Amino acid sequence: MQVGQYNLGGLTRFALCAIGRTWGTIGSMPFYNKTGRGTANTCREDDTVKAIPFTKMHGLGNDYIYIDRFSYPHEHDWSELARRMSDRHFGVGSDGLILIEPSEIADFRMVFFNADGLEGEMCGNGMRCFAKYVYEAGLTGKTSLVVETKAGLIKPYLTVKDGIVETISVDMGIPRLNRAQIPLAKLDGPEPVVNEPIEYEGKVLYGTAVSMGNPHMVFFVDDVWEVELEKIGPKLEFHPMFPERANIEFVAVKSRDEIDMRIWERGSGITLASGTGSSASVVASILNGKVDRGVPVKVNLQGGALVVEWKHGGRVWQTGPAITVFSGQYYL
């Protein structure tokens, strides 16, 4: 077998290293990368290669790469790194990158980048995984946390059994319903923004706008699986109505306490779940009189189900699982 020379970057080298362990019996098969020559059976690179330790986690299939800045304080162009690491063919593969950092005003600070490198305000599924990580990694012994985000202070509450975090409930805060806060390009008009007309390819769609610290537009349909989300999602995300782009949700109401939802996530595309999207969808369903406020609503997503409640006091709560997938090193 002839082995060619390849200019391999990023996690490709990490993947070859892992695969190389299974090839150890065939000898020291060489491979090439941009930093020099390595060997597939030793899993070692040149000493000058820098590696970033990471952990991959998911909430109902909404998966993120986590970098613990307590143990890895080095600086990078995190937006560019998010694009590279999130690539599902040439990187680790994820819906985005999340940094776990110290905070001067809270227990921790969460910095969140979508898969395209766009820095986001908040991520509900990402927050649940964040809380699981800091507890199980020994960064805190608290089961009630305060986390600084671009959307404000978010409070996750952990249910722990035998040292393992089983579920997390997150106080997602008070939904923002005025046009300037969402934000929308058109600032004049009724608030809350319910059944707002949006022109799309010669048709008019009607959506309800909600911000959960990040912008969402929710459309109601009979069957979420009949929506050509891969076609309509990107066009609505970049619609001029949304100066900061938007997350796009399609919702089918099943009962007064259950909905189905699919999302085109700003900066990431179709994802299997979304915590802020689920929260916005329940708020929009209540604003449209389709489900009840002050009761838990089951949100069925492609990756599983979350429970969301918009309490009478004004705050939105979300409860669901978080899973650790694996840890590794990403070579620069």
pLDDT value of position 50 = 83
Task: List the structure tokens of 157.
Answer: 């509450």
Strand 152-161 to strand 164-173: parallel, antiparallel, or no bridges (unpaired)? antiparallel
Percentage of residues in the chain having pLDDT higher than 90: 84
More reliable by pLDDT, 50 or 228: 228
pLDDT value of position 44 = 41
Task: List the structure tokens of 62.
Answer: 């909404």
More reliable by pLDDT, 84 or 3: 84
β-bridge partners, 62:
59
Q: What confidence category does residue 19 fall into, taking pLDDT thresholds of 50, 70 and 90?
A: very low
Assess contact for 244 and 183: CB atoms under 8 A: yes
- Model confidence over 201-210: pLDDT tens digits? 899 999 999 9
**How confident is the model over 151-155, as a mean pLDDT?**
95
User: Could you give the CA distance from residue 237 to residue 239 in angstroms, rounded to a whole number?
Assistant: 6
**How confident is the model over 125-143, as a mean pLDDT?**
97
Q: What confidence category does residue 41 fall into, taking pLDDT thresholds of 50, 70 and 90?
A: very low
Q: What confidence category does residue 269 fall into, taking pLDDT thresholds of 50, 70 and 90?
A: very high
3-state secondary structure of 41: coil
User: Could you give the CA distance from residue 284 to residue 232 in angstroms, rounded to a whole number?
Assistant: 20
**Checking phi first, is residue 108 left (phi over 0); if not, alpha (psi -120 to 50) or beta?**
beta
- Please give the sequence-ordered ranges of beta strands (E in DSSP) within 256-332, or none if there are none: 258-265, 269-271, 297-301, 304-310, 316-320, 323-331
Q: What confidence category does residue 197 fall into, taking pLDDT thresholds of 50, 70 and 90?
A: very high
pLDDT value of position 49 = 42
pLDDT value of position 166 = 95
- Model confidence over 88-131: pLDDT tens digits? 999 999 999 999 999 999 999 999 999 999 999 999 999 999 99
Asked, as a colleague might, if the bond just before 183 is cis with ω within 30 of 0, I would say: yes
pLDDT value of position 28 = 32
- The domains of the chain, with CATH numbers, are 1-49 (no CATH), 53-171+323-331 (3.10.310.10), 193-314 (3.10.310.10)
Task: List the structure tokens of 68.
Answer: 């613990």
Does the pLDDT of residue 23 top 50, yes or no? no
User: CA 16, 20, 22, 27: dihedral to nearest 10 degrees?
Assistant: 150
- Model confidence over 208-250: pLDDT tens digits? 999 999 999 999 999 999 999 999 999 999 999 999 999 999 9
pLDDT value of position 164 = 96
**How confident is the model over 175-186, as a mean pLDDT?**
97
Does the pLDDT of residue 183 top 60, yes or no? yes
Asked, as a colleague might, if the bond just before 53 is cis with ω within 30 of 0, I would say: no
Q: What is the DSSP letter of 25?
A: G
**How confident is the model over 284-288, as a mean pLDDT?**
98
**How confident is the model over 139-165, as a mean pLDDT?**
97
- Model confidence over 79-95: pLDDT tens digits? 999 999 999 999 999 99
- Please tell me the pTM assigned to this model: 0.80
